[in-house]
Structure 1
Amino acid sequence: MWKTIVRRIFIMIPQLFLLSILVFLLAKAMPGDALTGLVDPSLDPAALEAQRERLGLNDPWHVQYWNWMIHALQGDFGQSFRFKMPVSELIGQRIFNTIWLSVATLILTYLIAIPLGITSGRYNDTWADRLITGYTYLGFAAPLFIFGLVMLWLFGFHFDWFPTGGSVKPGVEPGTAAYVFSKIYHLLLPALSMALITTVTTVQLLRSEIIDTKQRDFILTARAKGASESRVYNRHILRNSLLPIAAFFGYEITGLIGGTVFIESIFSYPGMGQLFLSSISLRDFSVVTALVLLYGLASILGALISDLILSIVDPRIRIK
């Protein structure tokens, strides 16, 4: 297994290299540059051109890319033109908010999906199964950003049960119990909004696996030997049906990347997703390229985690 991990890490290097080139070229292809909209329109064109020359914005793309890559390998992703601070420091301020939001979403997703999937699969073709299946169909049809707006209006503005923005109540001292509770309180509605949508895939997958496993020969054999129904479900059906769910865990991490971009923007939650959208609109290229590389790394690691989990929980699969 360790050989496979090392081999996959070496494969990640050219993947990230190609991704960095693609992202850099797409960023340069956007209209304008990092100075667009940030300087006084009445500024002397010669002074503006001198500023672009000083920042290296007039250099060929491969020269700009090489200079950026050399600094990136040293942990220096440049300076944010909008926030006037190093990109690595700026991302460091936001990354933990996104991590906590993603962790909360994953916990809520499995707390909702596993009971619903088990109920729907075990009692298929009943009224409970029809209600759960109807919920999943609505979840597939509802866009995340529309659902997030509805949740924000309903529980944030209409009922006033949750805050409508931010990650913590202003004035709360960091490190105190009140600070921790405020953090949880602020991320609960965004996490629940995302979890209710991402849950539907897991519910449908678990339901299908349980229904399929119930018809297999080893289940019929276990029943023929007189095993109790609870033992059949707990020891055989459920155990085998949860294997794809465990393997899907890494890809859930990848799926959360796109979700947090919209959710953080809708709920004004100061994470990497909100920073990513604002940086695109303001042409803050150094922030955009660093975040896309970080998202790409998370996606590659998610795929690796899924493979490793599946090899651990399924004795028939071993990565060597």
Structure 2
Amino acid sequence: MWKFILRRLIIAIPQLILLSLFVFLLAQAMPGDALTGLIGDPDLPPEVIQEMRVAMGVDNPWYIQYKDWVLNALQGDFGRSFARKVPVTDLIESRVWNTVWLSLFSTILIYLMGIPLGIISGKYHDTIRDRLITGYTYVGFATPLFIFALIMLLVFGFMLRWFPTGGSVTPGLEPGTLEYVLSKINHLILPSFSIALIGITGTVQYLRSEIVDTKQKDFVRLARSKGVSEKRLYNKHIFRNSLMPVAALFGYEITLLISGSIFVEAIYTYPGMGQLFVQSINTRDFSVVTALVLIFGLAYILGGLLSDIIMSLVDPRIRIK
């Protein structure tokens, strides 16, 4: 197992290098440059602007700028936010836990709702229950997340006023108190359900397909012919084997939610990394944009590693020694 983890980590190194190079070149190709956000006075003399460019190093060849950026990033220094005039690391640290909690809360909801629905749909396939569940998944696949989030915000936030319509906590509460924690949870509910009610579609479909397929396998037919009860047959043989692909996607599920919560955070004005990403693009805050894209890419690579490890643990047939 440790050899497998080490091998996957080694494979991840060139992926990270290519990712960092792609992110850097993409930022270089964007209109303007790192100096754009610093120039507040449009009447600055050209010679002053040129001095600022030289001082910041934006006139250096791209490979020198890339080398300096990578060396600083390895030390946790992504530069300063040109729009907010604070270190990028401090800015991301102030947002990262909001996104992490939103992603974890959404993941829990996805599995709490998706697994029972997938089991019911697979166990009673081609019945009215199965048709209702699969009908919802088809609608979920066809509905863009931002449209669904807007509808949820309109109905439960503005019309019914059951949940807050923005922010991550009620202003004025002292961190660490019970009221503060309850307020954080209350602000998480609506955006998390918006993500989860769309996110369960994949889990339900995967699990349903696996259950329907597993029910037709020879070892299930053999167990049924030996008189094994249906309850024991489903619990011990069918469900256990059908859950493996769902468990294997767990790592990808979390990382995709971390990077995919951009629309939801923007719609709910939830102060996480997704909202910061959109704001930084609008203000051409290149240092923040490149740092966030690199973090999202790193999370996806680590999520793939986590999924491979989980799959090798739950399925002895493919376990790598």
Specify the TM-score bucket, using the shorter chain as the normaliser: over 0.9
Percent of pairs with identical residues: 65
Contact 1:56–1:64 (8 Å) recurs in 2: yes
Contact 1:101–1:187 (8 Å) recurs in 2: yes
Instruction: State the alpha-carbon separation in 2 of the partners of residues 57 and 314 from structure 1.
Output: 51
Please give the root-mean-square deviation of Cα atoms over the aligned residues, in Å. 1.1
Letter in 2 for 1:31: P
Match of 1:307 in 2: 308
Letter in 2 for 1:142: T
Match of 1:225 in 2: 226
Partner-residue secondary structure (3-state), 1:42: coil
Match of 2:42 in 1: 41
In the alignment of these two chains, the number of paired residues is 320
Where do 1:71-220 residues align within 5 Å? 71-220=72-221
More off after superposition, 278-287 vs 123-132: 278-287
Match of 2:286 in 1: 285
Contact 1:118–1:210 (8 Å) recurs in 2: yes
Instruction: State the alpha-carbon separation in 2 of the partners of residues 232 and 141 from structure 1.
Output: 35
Instruction: State the alpha-carbon separation in 2 of the partners of residues 179 and 100 from structure 1.
Output: 15
Superposed CA deviations along residues 156-182 of structure 1, whole A, max 9, x for unmatched, are 111111111100000000000111111
Contact 1:194–1:259 (8 Å) recurs in 2: no
The alpha-carbon deviation at position 284 of structure 1 amounts to 1.0
The alpha-carbon deviation at position 310 of structure 1 amounts to 0.9
TM-score, normalised via structure 1 length = 0.98
The alpha-carbon deviation at position 258 of structure 1 amounts to 3.8
Contact 1:27–1:285 (8 Å) recurs in 2: yes
Instruction: State the alpha-carbon separation in 2 of the partners of residues 194 and 111 from structure 1.
Output: 13
Superposed CA deviations along residues 83-103 of structure 1, whole A, max 9, x for unmatched, are 111111111111100000000
Residues 1:26 and 2:26 aligned together = yes
- Please, which runs of 5 or more residues in structure 2 have no aligned partner? none
- Please, which runs of 5 or more residues in structure 1 have no aligned partner? none
Instruction: State the alpha-carbon separation in 2 of the partners of residues 70 and 248 from structure 1.
Output: 33
Match of 1:254 in 2: 255
The alpha-carbon deviation at position 236 of structure 1 amounts to 0.7
Superposed CA deviations along residues 203-231 of structure 1, whole A, max 9, x for unmatched, are 00100111111111111111111111100
TM-score, normalised via structure 2 length = 0.97
Match of 1:267 in 2: 268
Instruction: State the alpha-carbon separation in 2 of the partners of residues 258 and 65 from structure 1.
Output: 24
Superposed CA deviations along residues 84-140 of structure 1, whole A, max 9, x for unmatched, are 111111111111000000000000000110110000000111111111011000000
Instruction: State the alpha-carbon separation in 1 of the partners of residues 298 and 122 from structure 2.
Output: 35
The alpha-carbon deviation at position 9 of structure 1 amounts to 1.4
- After superposing on structure 2, the runs of 4+ consecutive aligned residues of structure 1 that deviate more than 3 Å are none
More off after superposition, 34-43 vs 215-224: 34-43
Partner-residue secondary structure (3-state), 2:125: coil
